[in-house]
Amino acid sequence: MTSKKVTELYNTVLQRSVQFSGKTAISGRLLQYELICKPVASVYPVCFCGTTAPLSMQRLTQRPIHRSIQQENPIVIFDSGVGGLSIYQEVKRRLPGIEVIYCADNEAFPYGPKPEAEVIDRTLYCLSQLAEQYQPSLAIIACNTASTISLPRARQTLQIPVVGVVPAIKPAGEWSKKRSIGLLATPGTIAREYTHQLIRDFARDCDVISVGSSELVEMAERHLREQPVSHEEYKTVVEPFFANGKQPDCIVLGCTHFPLLEQQLQAACPAPIHWINSGEAIARRVEFLLDTVPDSRTPTSDRFIYTGSPDGIHALMPALESMGFQEVHELEQGS
């Protein structure tokens, strides 16, 4: 980014942003994060009223946004909640020098039960806002529901490559020795014709045991916020895979929330399972599509952006800090 563009961006931030610096003690350390409130016309009002610790306006900060020279534009990872953080982790593992803007559409969470038209509209709206504000080089729709429904429209609308995620049925069909595969996804993904076609194309000779669970999505959201989830809850989710003497040798995690719970799911299974998800393949695809790959030693300032109320954000801070996020704030929403 040229110095002129940096100056323009800096001035825009000063004119349109009021930054409140909130602090909270986490594991004996002081984690500083930001909730940025911007006066824009929006049909999605936000109330800044954290539940765990009240946010206070301490001082007006004026700080420019820095980008690394090697990577002028970040990439965007978008999901309805925290599930896409499993994709974020794989991308950062493969490309640690890449700068990431992660957006969780908490306001519209969850996408699974919503009508397809609503999911498309919401996905395109958020991606368009992110593209306008951050000029990303690439976007990942890190939500199976949104990808299978919205990906064609997103690619038509945005002027950048858009990567989607789909259930990893193809690698499961290639891996399975017993020709018995489990598919764990949301009920909507299980029922969608797109998924049925994947099974016909890549696992036709396999016994595919499909289990739909909306509860597991909520369990992943609770887990990342360090809220209790019992072993029995996990056991209830995986039991159908082993009913009537069935024994798959691999299970596809067909929702990006689910890899966040892989260890807990394995502990609830009566036998060892090979778990397959699309995270690593997505990271390879991102590396292929980028014109240049930032040096792994390049410092990054990854941001976690959310929509809706910040009430549930404070509980996420320990997990976000451990993953390397430097800033947390609300998505500026236009008309």
Q: pTM for this one?
A: 0.77
Q: To 5 degrees, how large is the angle CA 258–CA 263–CA 268? A: 95
Q: What pLDDT score was predicted for residue 335?
A: 58
Q: Which pLDDT band, with edges at 50, 70 and 90, does 25 fall under?
A: very low
Q: What pLDDT score was predicted for residue 293?
A: 77
Determine if residue 296 is labeled as part of a ligand binding site: no
Query: Is 241 domain-assigned?
Result: yes
Identify the three-state secondary structure at position 303: strand
| Active-site residue (options: 103, 126, 255, 269) | 255
Query: Is 153 domain-assigned?
Result: no
Q: What pLDDT score was predicted for residue 299?
A: 75
Average pLDDT (223-246) is 95
- Angle between helix 116-134 and helix 144-157 axes, rounded to 10 deg: 60
Q: Which pLDDT band, with edges at 50, 70 and 90, does 38 fall under?
A: very low
Active site residue 143: yes
Query: Is 221 domain-assigned?
Result: yes
The predicted-structure confidence for 120-167, as pLDDT tens digits, reads as follows 999 999 999 999 999 999 999 999 999 999 999 999 999 999 999 999
Residue 16 reports pLDDT greater than 60: no
Query: Is 262 domain-assigned?
Result: yes
Mean of the per-residue pLDDT values for the chain?
A: 81
The predicted-structure confidence for 73-110, as pLDDT tens digits, reads as follows 999 999 999 999 999 999 999 999 999 999 999 999 99
Domain span including residue 236: 169-277
CATH code at position 243:
3.40.50.1860
Identify the three-state secondary structure at position 214: coil
Pick the residue with more confidence: 53 or 315? Answer: 315
Work out how many domains the chain is built from and give that number. Answer: 1
What is the C-alpha to C-alpha distance for residues 132 and 303, in angstroms, rounded to an integer?
Answer: 16
What phi-psi label fits residue 179: left (phi over 0), alpha (psi between -120 and 50 degrees) or beta? left
- DSSP classification of residue 241: G
Query: Is 270 domain-assigned?
Result: yes
| Active-site residue (options: 103, 143, 250, 269) | 143
Query: Is 116 domain-assigned?
Result: no
The first and second tokens of residue 121, run together, are 């509209």
Identify the three-state secondary structure at position 228: coil
